Structure 1
Amino acid sequence: MLNKKVKNTIKNKMSKSYEFKYLKYLKHKSIEENQILLESTQSRDFSGHVLYVCKDLAERYPQMQLVISIVPEKKDWLQLLLKKQNITDKVKVVEFLSKDYFLALATSKYLINDTTFWSFFNKRPEQVYINIWHGTPLKKLGKDMNLDGFGNVQKNFLASDYLVVSNDYTKDKLVESYNLNNIASTKVVVAPSARNSILFDDLVREKVRNELDLDNKKVYMYMPTYRDEGTSISYTEKALLALDKNLTDNEVLFVKLHPFDAEKMTLNIHDLKHVKPFPSKYETYEFLTAVDTLITDYSSIMYDFLCTNRSTILFTYDKAAYYKQRGLYEDIADYPFLKVSTIDELITHLRDEDELTDKNFQDKYISNDNLEGTKELVDYLFSGKACSNIKEFSLRNEKDNVVFFAGPLWDNGITQAFFNTLDAIDLEENNYILHLKDKSVKYAHKYKLKELQIPYILTSGVAQYSFFEGIFTHLYLKKEWFGNKFMRKTIETVVMKMYRLDFRRMFNNLEINHFIHYTGFERAYAAMTQAISGEKIKTTIFYHTDMFEEYDAKKNINKKVLKNSYEKVDQVVLVNEELRERLVSNYPKIKNIKILDNFLGTDKIIEASEESLFTSLLDTSITHYGGIKKTIHDSLPVQIKEDNSFTPIDRLFKTIIQRRNIGESDLIPNVKKYKSELDGIFQSKYTELFKVTDSLEITNEELGYIYGLSKLKLIDDLLDPNVKVFSNIGRFDKQKGHDRLLTAFEEVHKHHPNTRLVIIAPHGPLKNQTINQAKESSANEHIYIVGGMQNPYSLLKYCEAFVFTSLYEGLGLVVFESLAVNTNVITVEIPATSRGLQKGQPENAAPVAMVVKNDQESITKGWLDYLDNEQIFSPYDFDKVEQESLASWEDVIKPL
């Protein structure tokens, strides 16, 4: 019987059965050498660049078989458009996501798009993909807008053989915002805008104006951009009514709204006298030839209309809100257009003659455009004909592309080790690239993408497989027995073939020289890494911790999958020598094992530790169990303490009084000593947020509102020279041994009441269990649970010692991070950690940390010994260890 998850997977895949058709054609149909598939805005329209390229191809390249894709509901409209363009008999129209569409997508030699194909698109090596980007970007794109969520656009750019843009400005914005520079094999072509050529055609202008009886009229066109949020349809309707009232009989205003906005309109434009809807029988740019004045706001059409040398008005009534919500690359206040912000201003200046004379501005955006521009572009792409108006740029440099998969960047040791590696190695040596699943990084971790020193690429969509490949792959990944012995070669062949094809879908034209599965245990990526081994790509899997310990503890890995992968990839990299013996004894066929001790990232840790403790804890959640409420209660005035007849509103007011009373009590005497530093922090933030220079002073009472008592008490303890604060950093997981840590601290606190314990743990399966143990502890008043911190090192620096209680680890990176900020360490005996400590210990010197046996009794005894007896530790030699790791890295990264 199939389990529920498998059934849901099958159901979901069957709901997208069209993908099966596409896959079938990809595998079994040959390329149609003279066929071109043309798609615009994911088949929702057929206009702009793609229409004009199609028309030119139909007229001058009769040997080409042209196929146009359109959604079913627009098919009749498209047929009328093609008839008007006199190319009906020269093209074949297919419905989007139909059998014919997938056949064309899979077999057409040439693919032309002005946005993107869907994420299932898998470009064959024989195909030529031409992406003619649809506009000049004023609005921010890619990572400039959001740090993720643009994976499919990026994938389409990487898959493109030619990315065609209209100016150098657009080239620079697309290349930078989608992380294409140096790594993409895509050729960027700066060429005339295909849709703009018609704007130079006076004959078309005369024809359109004559057909619409506009010969003796002033023609205005209102084309506002679509707002993702905040669009006021009522304001648009108010503006149209006012314009209709103020226009003369010799004037007419045509309106073209985004379809989403048009659907919301309650005003019937047909009822107006001087305002008319856009005449749908014309293509947008064809109609623009007839326009005398364009009214828009933030749309890229403002750049295109420059070709006419006629007037443009920017009606930006919501500029401040739009800039804040959407983000724009340039300030349109600097643009040489007439700008208005109210309906009255629009009406007043509507008839102003404002011919553009700023040649530098025109040259920046439309210097290549001309009457023959469409022909020049088509001949360049399909006949290889050079043209002075066209420039081609290669993005790919001569360095190897080395791609890392490092998971979703959780707050854990592996992620930290990865970032330490980037800090330590020479990033100019190769093109190092981070690969992530699109939208896989949680909001709390997205800052890591912003701070990333290397480009990242995002994979969108799901794995591409046939029905039986999907079943085989699911069982192969999830079930140890499936493909372990019976039909092993057949099953592996099917699964590996599936992964090779999906790898091509994910990365398409991106040339990858070395693929590194850095996290090591993620089974799907392990299988994929195995699948591409021997495909002229060097493959590496990192091994950070004892897989067999992990399996015994959680049963959350598939040893069969990892065994097969480890034995087939080019190299397995162990982060310490201690992992070798057990791995080899279980998997003796591994052919190439290398040792690379983790980089420790000392310099960056020290730099991060310099951040103020107050700012690093400002947005951090902290829970403190025990007697805080009692302490506050004891500090309240007697009449408040004794009054128990509170209503709900009174109780809320009492809470406010309690929080305010923090400043008047003696609860945070050490924090108060840093009052001038706090004032400086808040003054700086106040100035930054509100752009004012007024003096701001935070009262002691107000600190209770800003930080909360638990946080203030922790800070106070950290600043108190008479209190010894011990820390532990690690997710709530059995491996981390938090139960042993809390049990030991109870005993320690009995003998040393001036001790505190801080556990920094953002997530984990044992979160509730650990918190409950802390609540029930006899030392609960002195235990703090801290959520995820972007920078824990400023806190760690103030701790007496870091207490490491893990049951097992690959290394225990946080031990060395503690030493880097001069915080002492008490650690259990873990072979890799102990060897790492010995490597950095100066010869014939005192130890660098206290090491105890890895059991409950020894942790407690060692901790007490640390407090009862003066400890002398040697400084750790980080430079020596880092140099040894760098030498090992050079061996790992060298080409095949």
Structure 2
Amino acid sequence: MKAIDLARKSVRSIERRAKRLKRFRRQQLMALTETMPIRKDLVFYEAYSGNGMLCHPEAIFQQLLKEPDMAHLEHVWVLKDFDRYASTIEIYRDNPKVKFVKYLSIEYYRALRTAKYLVNNVSFPQQFSKRDGQIYLETWHGVPLKKMGYDVAGKASDAKNIVRNFFAADFLLSAGERMTEQMYLGAFKLNNIFKGAIIEEGNPRIDRQFLGASGAAELKTWFERLGLGWDDREVILYAPTWKGASYAKPDTDATALQAVVEYLSSKVDSKKYRVLLKAHQVVSDRIARIPAMKDFLVPNEVPTNLVLGATSLLVTDYSSIFYDFLATGKPVAFYVPDLETYRTYRDVYTEPEDHPGELARSLSELWTVISESLESRMMAEGVRARYDRDTENHCRRDDGAASSRIIDIVFRGIEEGYQVKRDFTDGRESVLIYVGGMASNGITTSALNLLDNIDYERFDVSVLFPHSRDADKVRNTRSINSNARILVRDGTFNGGHFANRGRLMGQAQGWDGRRKHEPKVEAIWKDEWNRCFGDAEFDYIADFCGYSPFWDYLFLQGKAKRHSVWLHNDLAADADREVEGQKTLKSGLRAVFTTYEKFGALVSVSAPLSEINRESLAEYVSKDKFVSCRNSINVEKINLLAKGDLDTPEESLIIENGEIQIGKSSSVVDAVDRLSKLFSLASIRREIGRRQHLNKFFDTTSEVKTFVAVGRLSPEKNHERLVQAFELVQETHPDTRLVIIGNGPLRGDLDALISSLGLDHVVTMAGQQENPYLIMANSDCFVMSSDYEGQPMVILEALTLGLPVVTTAFGSVRAALPEGEGLVVEQTVSALANGMRSFLNGEVTSNHFDASEYNRAVMNEFYAAIGSEYRVSEPADHAIGMKSFIRAEDVAVVQN
């Protein structure tokens, strides 16, 4: 087994190195082009990442070739495989104005960086950064049927590169107002951020469906060139979508596709009809390898809409291809034998029952639908109504001339008389917040709470964090409030080796260092902002993490009314903190400090902490920039996770003065049967799991008092003092227990200390807990032994749960512990032990903590800190915008 594990690690290591080399190569290729001038007559086209000359880009290209005043343009097309698309290349062999480049080659990057016009139907790769003077036309690849972008539950970060491309685009194509609202402004949340124009002048590729004599001849030539032949038979086209949870890794059952095509072919009158298969472009190559499919498969090179123009009846499933076909006025049949399975990994905007065609769940049903449609050439009344509705919504402007109108707008600069929409502001102010790496820690907890308390009716919020596959971080990102726009930084800087080396040296030297201000270094910082955010602009930019100079350097490239950076601790003390003899944060934080003069506000998480930072960091920045904003809390989430399932029984089952009576039962079966009539089985299972989990930490057979501590096991938390104080408490109160939740570099030292003191049986090291609130709520007193803190969230969480608090007197303790709450003791072992005894003697209790009033005040502090004049005058109902989507089973919780 060890040999297998070593082999796996070796393979992963090789894969990581290969990925780094590939990324470095792309960096270098982009660097080689950075000084090349933009060629004003060059148009660069990419469709489906090089999978053919297809879709809207192909239609626009064909129309540009026909326009006399566009004859000066040169055209570069991207293809992944020159052999596979040899027939396409051959067509333009003698045209000096048309060139082809391989996807991600040096020629690819050169053309991408130097062409004035960029045309794509999906997205350019993660290294793409639009240069000044380039015009980017993003056509997209059809009306969305399947849910997209932020509408795909749990997959918001998957949209990272597409959103980045949209931010950079000068023009987005839309089939009409419905697509604009549903997809661009809805699914991808482009309101307030997108600075370009959305064109609603029809679908260029649908122009190809208006065949005429020339189009019919072109289609015949395509089929004959590929050795397939063409005749006058009517076409029945089967065009299913790709299947699978990931576009990059589609599933395809070639046998099933072949069975459908062969079945239909056996049923039709072969003298009158021809059955063809148009597989989705991401799986077409696999199907092409099956010899039996040669006579049926429409090759990927052939423009789909040419085939649609010659089709008499379309059969599809969940593909939005039917929206294009509506422009023909001909019937559509929907074959959906796997609807329930499909819904498990991809949701749709429109249910199949509401599609503009008859629905079939089996091949026999499908043939009945097809035969009736071909025989009557009529649609049922309900189908016709849906057909007309969808045609109006998505094909209203499709008259065969959409490409010409797009060329007028993009290439000629003529917008008058056309549907060109600009200015997508909705009155909200935009905020960009970097929330850190999303590891389970106090900053992540604070950030998630903040995002649950912001007034989204007033603010448009973009949340930024780096891409990661770490399970803990991914789980935390899924807890981000769904009202926020998630932005994920993926990829890295463009620029050559020496420029990037200078960037790293400049970052280490500090903002005022010589290397930071070298022209090439300044240029790649600017380019990185542009790569990440395109033309997007924000009213307020906030580094909520505050520990990395990289993000401060990046954020200061963006324009905003105010830039702010958060200080979650005594940062001068953090810089000098040692872990295993190393001051691991010193160099990074010193570089952070040099950026402070460029920020409008330095935001400490409590007023006392702000005073500490104001004095200790005075050499770096003027004192008037220091402000404070306490951390907010999420009361609903804390209580939900602390108490487990909150289901209530049906009213008819509440008996005897409104109390639920299970009564005496002769067996556990009878008791569970009675409970199941009051609560769902899922609720009962969760409660059983909750209690089993608690039994790991609490002795339910005896009366004991349990102290609980929550925090990272690092020096500033000083858990050693806590354990030593608890030893003293044990001497006089043996009926006590201590549970320590958290993990960190000092775990081994603490385990050794606990054993040396003979406390193994009364001290539990609980480690990192996804739900610390469950343990906290079942403890008796919260205790903290820190040397210094910012504003520890866990104290507020303990108060929310009604726990008495005993804490050492760190510098900002009074901002963390509201007046009248808890007991503050000196930072000594004996004082902490006496404080814990005071609780046991009944001298430390928990008073009422008004969480709503607290959050109202905190959010006013936040809005003021970022630079907004907005204030919440009443306790904010918006603060917990969680009720619509919090579920106990999928909320991720992190600890300080």
**TM bin (shorter chain):** 0.7 to 0.9
Q: Distance in 2 between matches of 1:428 and 1:268?
A: 55
Alignment partner of 1:186 is 2:186: no
Q: Distance in 2 between matches of 1:458 and 1:271?
A: 41
CA contact (8 A) 2:604 2:629 kept: no
| Shift, 1:824, TM fit | 0.8
Q: Distance in 1 between matches of 2:19 and 2:188?
A: 34
| Shift, 1:495, TM fit | 4.3
Against the structure 1 CA distance between its residues 361 and 421, is the aligned structure 2 distance closer, same or farther, given a 3 Å change threshold? Answer: closer
Alignment partner of 1:382 is 2:411: yes
| Shift, 1:38, TM fit | 1.8
Aligned residue runs from structure 1 range 841-880, under 5 A: 841=819, 847-868=820-841, 870-871=843-844, 875=848
Count the aligned residue pairs: 800
Aligned residue runs from structure 1 range 206-225, under 5 A: 206-207=216-217, 216-225=232-241
Which consecutive unaligned segments of at least 5 residues does structure 2 have? 1-12, 224-228, 245-249, 648-667, 870-896
* Residue from 423, 437, 445 that aligns with 2:476: 445
Q: Distance in 2 between matches of 1:64 and 1:677?
A: 82
Q: Distance in 2 between matches of 1:25 and 1:267?
A: 38
1:107 matched residue in structure 2: 114
Q: Distance in 2 between matches of 1:414 and 1:301?
A: 46
Aligned residue runs from structure 1 range 364-375, under 5 A: 364-375=393-404
Letter in structure 2 aligned against 1:179: K
| Shift, 1:160, TM fit | 0.8
1:470 matched residue in structure 2: 500
* Residue from 489, 500, 515 that aligns with 1:459: 489
CA contact (8 A) 1:70 1:94 kept: yes
Alignment partner of 1:543 is 2:572: no
- Secondary structure of the structure 1 residue equivalent to 2:432: strand
Letter in structure 2 aligned against 1:233: A
1:665 matched residue in structure 2: none
| Shift, 1:540, TM fit | 1.9
2:430 matched residue in structure 1: 401
C-alpha deviations, 1:216-263, integer Å up to 9, x for none?
A: 523222222112355322222333343444344313212232466455
CA contact (8 A) 2:51 2:281 kept: no
1:296 matched residue in structure 2: 316
Alignment partner of 1:517 is 2:543: yes
Aligned residue runs from structure 1 range 313-712, under 5 A: 313-353=333-373, 355-356=378-379, 357-358=384-385, 359-386=388-415, 390-397=419-426, 399-422=428-451, 426-439=455-468, 442-449=473-480, 451-477=481-507, 483=509, 488-493=513-518, 495-529=521-555, 531-532=556-557, 538-551=562-575, 552-554=577-579, 555-557=583-585, 558=587, 559-576=589-606, 577-581=608-612, 584-585=615-616, 587-591=618-622, 593-601=624-632, 604-605=634-635, 608-609=638-639, 613-615=643-645, 679=676, 683=680, 685=682, 706=689, 709-712=692-695
Letter in structure 2 aligned against 1:566: Y
Which consecutive unaligned segments of at least 5 residues does structure 1 have? 618-670, 687-696, 842-846
CA contact (8 A) 1:417 1:598 kept: no
| Shift, 1:13, TM fit | 5.2
Against the structure 1 CA distance between its residues 472 and 680, is the aligned structure 2 distance closer, same or farther, given a 3 Å change threshold? Answer: farther
Q: Distance in 2 between matches of 1:210 and 1:406?
A: 57
CA contact (8 A) 2:605 2:631 kept: no
Against the structure 1 CA distance between its residues 726 and 81, is the aligned structure 2 distance closer, same or farther, given a 3 Å change threshold? Answer: same
1:829 matched residue in structure 2: 809
| Shift, 1:489, TM fit | 1.5
- Secondary structure of the structure 2 residue equivalent to 1:462: coil
2:123 matched residue in structure 1: 116
- Secondary structure of the structure 2 residue equivalent to 1:432: strand
TM-score by length of 2: 0.80
Alignment partner of 1:161 is 2:191: no
Against the structure 1 CA distance between its residues 39 and 365, is the aligned structure 2 distance closer, same or farther, given a 3 Å change threshold? Answer: same
Alignment partner of 1:734 is 2:715: yes
CA contact (8 A) 2:809 2:824 kept: yes
Q: Distance in 1 between matches of 2:849 and 2:690?
A: 35
Q: Distance in 2 between matches of 1:616 and 1:787?
A: 27
| Shift, 1:777, TM fit | 6.9
Against the structure 1 CA distance between its residues 571 and 339, is the aligned structure 2 distance closer, same or farther, given a 3 Å change threshold? Answer: same
Alignment partner of 1:32 is 2:56: no
- Secondary structure of the structure 1 residue equivalent to 2:243: coil
C-alpha deviations, 1:538-557, integer Å up to 9, x for none?
A: 32221111223323223222
Q: Distance in 1 between matches of 2:754 and 2:398?
A: 70
2:652 matched residue in structure 1: none
Letter in structure 2 aligned against 1:866: F
Letter in structure 2 aligned against 1:826: V
- Secondary structure of the structure 1 residue equivalent to 2:70: coil
- Secondary structure of the structure 1 residue equivalent to 2:302: coil
| Shift, 1:334, TM fit | 1.9
CA contact (8 A) 1:496 1:527 kept: no
Aligned residue runs from structure 1 range 9-48, under 5 A: 12=20, 16-26=24-34, 28-48=35-55
CA contact (8 A) 1:433 1:455 kept: yes
2:706 matched residue in structure 1: 725
Against the structure 1 CA distance between its residues 76 and 233, is the aligned structure 2 distance closer, same or farther, given a 3 Å change threshold? Answer: closer
Q: Distance in 2 between matches of 1:580 and 1:703?
A: 46
- Secondary structure of the structure 1 residue equivalent to 2:779: coil
2:8 matched residue in structure 1: none
Against the structure 1 CA distance between its residues 49 and 82, is the aligned structure 2 distance closer, same or farther, given a 3 Å change threshold? Answer: farther
- Secondary structure of the structure 1 residue equivalent to 2:390: helix
Q: Distance in 2 between matches of 1:64 and 1:774?
A: 80
CA contact (8 A) 1:829 1:854 kept: yes
| Shift, 1:131, TM fit | 0.3
Letter in structure 2 aligned against 1:442: K
CA contact (8 A) 2:740 2:765 kept: yes
- Secondary structure of the structure 1 residue equivalent to 2:739: strand
2:793 matched residue in structure 1: 813
CA contact (8 A) 2:719 2:785 kept: yes
Q: Distance in 2 between matches of 1:282 and 1:339?
A: 28
Aligned residue runs from structure 1 range 714-793, under 5 A: 714=697, 717=700, 722-761=703-742, 763-767=743-747, 770=750, 778-786=758-766, 792-793=772-773
* Residue from 43, 68, 73 that aligns with 1:65: 73
Against the structure 1 CA distance between its residues 459 and 726, is the aligned structure 2 distance closer, same or farther, given a 3 Å change threshold? Answer: same
| Shift, 1:294, TM fit | 1.7
Alignment partner of 1:141 is 2:148: yes
CA contact (8 A) 2:728 2:833 kept: yes
1:197 matched residue in structure 2: 207
Q: Distance in 2 between matches of 1:614 and 1:385?
A: 61
- Secondary structure of the structure 1 residue equivalent to 2:565: strand
Range that drifts further, 732-741 or 131-140: 732-741
Letter in structure 2 aligned against 1:180: L
Against the structure 1 CA distance between its residues 72 and 565, is the aligned structure 2 distance closer, same or farther, given a 3 Å change threshold? Answer: same
Q: Distance in 2 between matches of 1:685 and 1:281?
A: 52
| Shift, 1:17, TM fit | 2.7
Letter in structure 1 aligned against 2:485: P
Q: Distance in 1 between matches of 2:516 and 2:51?
A: 41
C-alpha deviations, 1:569-626, integer Å up to 9, x for none?
A: 3332223334545664455131354444443435x32664256624499xxxxxxxxx
Range that drifts further, 71-80 or 549-558: 71-80
Q: Distance in 1 between matches of 2:430 and 2:72?
A: 36
CA contact (8 A) 1:58 1:87 kept: no
